[in-house]
Amino acid sequence: MNLKAILPFSHDLLTRIVMPGDTVVDATVGNGHDTAFLAELVGVNGHVYGFDIQQEAIEATTRNLTEKKLKQQVTLFQESHANIANKLDSQVIKAAIFNLGYLPGGDKTITTLADSTIEAITATLSLLSVGGIVILVIYHGHPEGQTEKNAILTYTEQLPQDEFHVLQYRFTNQRNNPPFVIAIEKRTQKPARVH
């Protein structure tokens, strides 16, 4: 197939933007595949901050990073991605990725939720450098996923076009609610408001 599948497409975007020495976020570490991919991109002088509420995900990601000798450039938080702003303070980041839904092979009743995801996206966009990108991989084949998808679409469609480019990448003829990507690129730093 000449068209890139969803995850290779998201990784291709990250490869174009993330450079050695950058700071990035994996907002839903899951089994650690994106975390390791980002850790390779930023190298030993960069840093990846990873978030997941499930201990199982943090442990799987730690094993993955240890096996690949990438642990030193990663900090993992067993917390909701809604806490990104608190944990990163005012750290400038180059990119972030969210794989939304539930942990592959894990408890399907534990999912990302619309409210905390929107909070996390808002925080991430505020920390993003100009030219940086936030990638949302949306899995919506379950009830909470549908709610989250609708909330994210409403949110991203209302982002000001002079501040952000918003792209949707999806296959429209696949069955069973296939995942899709929303990519948000920061175009400009919002000017400080004078009071």
- Helices (H) and strands (E) counted in the chain, each on its own, are 6, 7
pLDDT for 170 beyond 90: no
State the SS3 of 148-195.
HHHHHHHHHHCCCCCCEEEEEECCCCCCCCCCEEEEEEECCCCCCCCC
The CATH fold assigned to 23-186 is: Rossmann fold (3.40.50)
Rounded-to-integer distance, Cα 1 and Cα 51, Å: 33
pLDDT of residue 102: 57
Sheet holding 128-138, edge to edge: 74-77, 47-51, 23-26, 93-100, 128-138, 180-186, 164-169
Average pLDDT, the chain: 89
Predicted TM-score (pTM) of the model is 0.91
pLDDT for 103 beyond 60: no
Range 79-98 average pLDDT: 94
Q: Which percentage of the chain shows pLDDT scores above 90?
A: 67
Rounded-to-integer distance, Cα 95 and Cα 135, Å: 8
User: pLDDT confidence of 193, banded at 50, 70, 90?
Assistant: very low
pLDDT for 183 beyond 70: yes
pLDDT for 77 beyond 70: yes
Rounded-to-integer distance, Cα 25 and Cα 1, Å: 30
Rounded (10°) angle between helices 6-17 and 33-42: 20
pLDDT for 182 beyond 90: yes
Given 3-state DSSP classes, what are the helix, strand and coil percentages for the chain, each rounded to the nearest 5? 40, 25, 35
pLDDT for 106 beyond 70: no
